Amino acid sequence: MRIATWNVNSVNARLPTVLAWLEAAQPDVVGLQEIKCLDEKFPREAIEDLGYNIETHGQKSYNGVALLSKHPMSDVRRGLPGVDASGHEAEVEQARYIEAVIETSRPVRVGCLYLPNGNPIGTAKFAYKLAWFDRLQAHARTLLADEEAFTLCGDYNVIPTPEDARNPSAWVGDALYQPESQAAFRALRHLGLYDAGELGKQPPGTFTFWDYQAGAWQRDHGIRIDFHLLSPQAADRFRGVETHREARDMDKPSDHVPVVVDLED
DSSP, collapsed to helix, strand or coil, labels residue 141 as helix
User: Residues with Cβ < 8 Å from 123, sequence gap 6 or more?
Assistant: none
R_g of the chain computed on alpha carbons: 17
Catalytic residue status for 114: yes
Q: Tell me how far apart the alpha carbons of residues 26 and 17 are, in angstroms, rounded to a whole number.
A: 14
Selecting among 57, 139, 244, 256, the annotated active-site residue is 256
Task: Determine whether the annotation assigns residue 7 to a binding site.
Answer: yes
Task: Determine whether the annotation assigns residue 195 to a binding site.
Answer: no
Convert 215-224 to b/e letters by CB count within 10 Å (16 or more is b).
Answer: ebbeeebbbb
Catalytic residue status for 128: no
Task: Determine whether the annotation assigns residue 34 to a binding site.
Answer: yes
Q: Tell me how far apart the alpha carbons of residues 196 and 237 are, in angstroms, rounded to a whole number.
A: 11
Distance of CA 251 to the CA centre of its chain: 22
Selecting among 52, 97, 114, 156, the annotated active-site residue is 114
Q: Tell me how far apart the alpha carbons of residues 178 and 183 are, in angstroms, rounded to a whole number.
A: 9
Q: Residue 41 — left, alpha, or beta (φ > 0 → left; ψ -120 to 50 → alpha)?
A: alpha
Task: Determine whether the annotation assigns residue 255 to a binding site.
Answer: yes
Task: Determine whether the annotation assigns residue 117 to a binding site.
Answer: no
Selecting among 84, 155, 195, 226, the annotated active-site residue is 155
Per the CB < 8 A criterion, the answer to whether 102 and 108 are in contact is yes
Binding residues for Mg(2+): 7, 34, 155, 157, 255-256
Question: Catalytic residue numbers?
Answer: 114, 155, 256
Binding residues: 7, 34, 155, 157, 255-256
